[in-house]
Structure 1
Amino acid sequence: MNAPHPPKVAGIDPTVPPPTHTVAPAPPAPEAGPAPDAPAGTPPPVTAPDAPGSLLQDRLAGWVSDLTTLHELTERMCRTSALDTALEELLRAGAALVGARRGLVVWEPGDGLGPRTTVGHGLGRADLGHLETVPREALLTSTADLLAEPGLDPRHREVAARLGYAAGHAVPLATDDARLGTAVWLYDEPAAPDEHHRHLIGRYLHQAAEHLALLLEVERTRAYAATLTGELLPSRLPRLPGVQLAVRHRTGPRGGGDWYDALPLPDAALGLSVGSVTGGGPGAVAAAGRLRASLRAYAVMEGEDPVAVLSDLELLLRLTEPARSATALFAYCEPAARRITLAGAGHSPPLLTGERRTEYAETSLSAPLGMLACWEAPSVEFRVAPGETVLLYTDGLLRRTGEPMDRAFARLRSAAASVPRALRGDPGAVADHVLATLLPGDTARGDEDVVLLAARFG
């Protein structure tokens, strides 16, 4: 009669041999007597006992192995800097610890503030879609054998058969203060981790949850900063005869103080402005919003005189925020005549690009706002040829190239000159081409904001 097979237990290595202390002890050796040729009265030789502490050494070796594994996995988790990447690493490490091939994390912060998402390991988007149809309570419950579960939800049974898994091990993700979600690992056959591996995954998730909680706060802070910045900028660009507008705005990690604006003015005129406040973070974002709102008011009252607009903005900044400085450029555009009058305060000059030329507009030099005793720089006036596009931008576009400013200016001009003829009729396509050429793959260095405002005159 064959001996019954031991139950299958999931773990890091299900083929690990049993520890040495479980092997049946060998029968005791017969007591040795004195050697045949030894003189009478000689005591028998003393045999060496088994190595003392072998059991303890085995246990210590196992503990060291577990600690090494946990250290390596925790170190990999701590090297992640984005929430999505960290969740993928958690699933990968957990699958190795519990011996599963697939798994998913249902990310649902207990405070209800989000973000809420589901990340899979070894599961495609269609697989995750099927799992989303399973009731959460049923999906996020450990089950060693789904087919043998008497009260299994019918939809869960159907999805399990479709995806080919027969068991699941669910572990909550939580810190001492907050619940973050649940991780579930799926087995192809009925199985469950033993007590040892449940302890390992528990220790790992305890450390991982603390790191995930920190990344969650970073993610929320960035989202709040992006929302705040977006609310302080125009929700849409105006539509005026004779001019087409497009803008591209990228916020840096800290949330910088770059802004832009496009404002319809009396007599079918258009006011365009870009600017940047020193510093970063919420303070700079709020300061940029105040300056932009003030500039709009000055532009409505005296927009045809850009010098007066920036002079008022300079006075406001010195009186209300003496510790800050800012750069700004304001252009008063007359689309029907294709005439632009502009003034700048410490800001980079606009770039004109078309089929026949790509060149920087000549602007008078001026110090940034907040650093002038009085306003002395005059405005400049120029005309735009039909079909040409004027590019207004912030210095972040140049700095994020990681090159010296003179080379960055040359690269920007080259990028604008290389716009294909078929794209020149669309200012959005022109802006996209310039960004893709100047900052390929968005792998640019630096944390500055980027603003690129394109105005094409017909």
Structure 2
Amino acid sequence: MNAPHPPKVAGIDSTVPTPAHTVAPVPPAPGTPPVPKPPAAPAPGAVLQDRLAGWVSDLTTLHELTERLARTDGLEPALQELLRAGAALVGARRGLVALEPADGLGPHTTIGLGLGRADLGHMETVPRGALPYDTGGTAAEIVHADLFAEDCLDPRHREVAVRLGYAASYALPLTTDAAARLGAVVWLYDEPAEPNERQRHLIGLYVRHSAEHLARLLEVERTRACMATIAEELLPSRLPRVAGVQLAARHRTGPRGGGDWYDALPLPDAALGLAVGSVTGSGPSAVAAMGRLRASLRAYAVMEGEDPVAVLSDLELLLRLTEPARSATALFAYCEPALRKVTLAGAGHSPPLLIGERRTEFAETSVSAPLGMLACWEAPSVEIQAEAGETVLFYTDGLLHRTGDPMDRAFARLHTAAASIPRTLRRDPGAIADHVLRTVLPDGLDSADSEEDVVLLAARFD
């Protein structure tokens, strides 16, 4: 008679007790290898812990990568960081990002990782619709797990892939809710491959965050470009041609736009008016004030340019009446090229530099306060008698401030740079200005982002 079974409960397997008459298991014979036991199933808690550890690792990786991206303060460094971090996430070695804002306002650029300029040029020869990163304006990814196994691959794309040595690609669009499409990024594999599900999830999160950061940097870049364009438009588009003197100017604008300016205008009796100056502050208001001040000085120069003190006195009165909360430095020179004579007056401005074969020295101008600092400005003018072949170099204080040195050392650096100009360059005022810029501001400081504007105006007398 069979023994009764205990009742079954849903979800639980009842255990049947071993009958008392069950025979004990026979021990294995000597020399017989033991029978391996089946592996024990992992406990549910251990599986959950492994998953949590994987999630924490992924979140930590994303946090570190996004922190590195957030520390970039320029568009190009951010694009480079996007390529490097993305390559690590998807297991690729090379890639490129194409910045092509959908609004058409630019800037448009293509940056490669592990790809030279020639490689990027080859990539651009692929028809637009066949590019590995052309998502067609959609938010979808583009996966080419094995390019050479695809029958519908564009022939030119196949040629470029063979030339550059990549066999697979993975691309994602750069899109944001506010700025729409910014471009696309693609990573290239040397062998047939594609990212797995986990890698796609991570790179998708990272690229979405990157697109938002790039959109902010893009807006900053556009603002900087706009300010630089406005500042350049307010300055002379070309320098006048006057017999007996050659002119050259160099201008470097800060990222927010500054108030440094220069001017050169023909005056009656074959004379020439030269001016440099700087308005305090930065941004749109400083640029606008600079434009108003320069336009006013031109009018005063035409009416009474032969008296530089009168010109600056009128300018000081105008500044106090129209810009009471702002001050400015200025230097105006009345040049007579036929006589090689320069009469100048300065208001808080650095003295010009005379550069010639036999001398390199600062002009001895009188010490005076900037415009708008005193109730009434006036300072005596000085005369400079230049020799044939000598150059008078005007500049703004931004040239000295960008060095980061104390003013006495900055002046010494400027003097040394002017004295070291090769003889072959002294006939060209543009070459003189370039040499001074490169020497006083080495290692790209002349073009790097700085709060200080830089202006150089060189006048070489025949």
User: Same fold, TM exceeding 0.5?
Assistant: yes
Counterpart position of 1:84: 76
Q: CA deviation at 1:227?
A: 0.6
CA contact (8 A) 2:369 2:377 kept: no
Q: Which runs of 5+ in 2 are unaligned?
A: 1-17, 25-39, 134-141
Q: CA deviation at 1:154?
A: 2.2
Distance in 2 (CA, whole Å) between partners of 1:427 and 1:406 is 25
Counterpart position of 1:20: none
DSSP 3-state at the match of 2:433: helix
Q: Pick from 345, 352, 357: which aligns with 1:355?
A: 357
Matched, 1:136 2:137: no
Distance in 1 (CA, whole Å) between partners of 2:286 and 2:349 is 17
After superposition, residues 432-451 of structure 1 pair within 5 angstroms as 432-443=434-445, 447-451=451-455
Deviations 1:297-324 (A, max 9, x none): 1111111111111111111111111111
CA contact (8 A) 2:75 2:221 kept: yes
Distance in 2 (CA, whole Å) between partners of 1:386 and 1:228 is 37
Distance in 2 (CA, whole Å) between partners of 1:239 and 1:220 is 34
Matched, 1:59 2:51: yes
Distance in 2 (CA, whole Å) between partners of 1:49 and 1:310 is 92
Counterpart position of 1:169: 170
Q: CA deviation at 1:50?
A: 6.0
Q: CA deviation at 1:116?
A: 0.9
Distance in 2 (CA, whole Å) between partners of 1:384 and 1:207 is 61
Counterpart position of 2:103: 111
Deviations 1:6-57 (A, max 9, x none): xxxxxxxxxxxxxxxxxxxxxxxxx9x9xx9xxxxxxxxxxx9965511011
Matched, 1:94 2:86: yes
Code of the residue aligned with 1:457 in structure 2: it is F
Code of the residue aligned with 2:256 in structure 1: it is R
Structure 1 residues 151 and 261: CA distance shift in structure 2, 3 A: same
Q: What is the TM-score when the length of structure 2 is the normalising length? A: 0.86
**Identical amino acids, percent of aligned pairs:** 79
Q: CA deviation at 1:220?
A: 0.8
Matched, 1:454 2:455: no
Q: Which moved more, 1:149-158 or 1:338-347?
A: 149-158
Distance in 1 (CA, whole Å) between partners of 2:111 and 2:128 is 15
Distance in 2 (CA, whole Å) between partners of 1:126 and 1:302 is 58
Q: CA deviation at 1:430?
A: 1.7
After superposition, residues 178-217 of structure 1 pair within 5 angstroms as 178-217=180-219
CA contact (8 A) 2:402 2:445 kept: no
Q: CA deviation at 1:79?
A: 1.6
DSSP 3-state at the match of 1:448: coil
Q: CA deviation at 1:434?
A: 1.7
Structure 1 residues 431 and 50: CA distance shift in structure 2, 3 A: closer
Counterpart position of 2:303: 301
Q: CA deviation at 1:251?
A: 1.1
Counterpart position of 1:368: 370
Code of the residue aligned with 1:144 in structure 2: it is A
Deviations 1:159-199 (A, max 9, x none): 22222222221111112222111111122222221211110
Counterpart position of 1:145: 146
Count of aligned pairs between the two proteins: 414
CA RMSD, 1 decimal: 2.0
Code of the residue aligned with 2:66 in structure 1: it is T
DSSP 3-state at the match of 1:275: strand
Structure 1 residues 442 and 160: CA distance shift in structure 2, 3 A: closer
Structure 1 residues 160 and 50: CA distance shift in structure 2, 3 A: closer
DSSP 3-state at the match of 2:149: coil
Distance in 2 (CA, whole Å) between partners of 1:176 and 1:395 is 44
Code of the residue aligned with 2:434 in structure 1: it is D
Distance in 1 (CA, whole Å) between partners of 2:388 and 2:275 is 21
Q: What is the TM-score when the length of structure 1 is the normalising length? A: 0.86
Deviations 1:107-165 (A, max 9, x none): 11122111111111111211111111112332124322222323222222222222222
After superposition, residues 28-39 of structure 1 pair within 5 angstroms as none
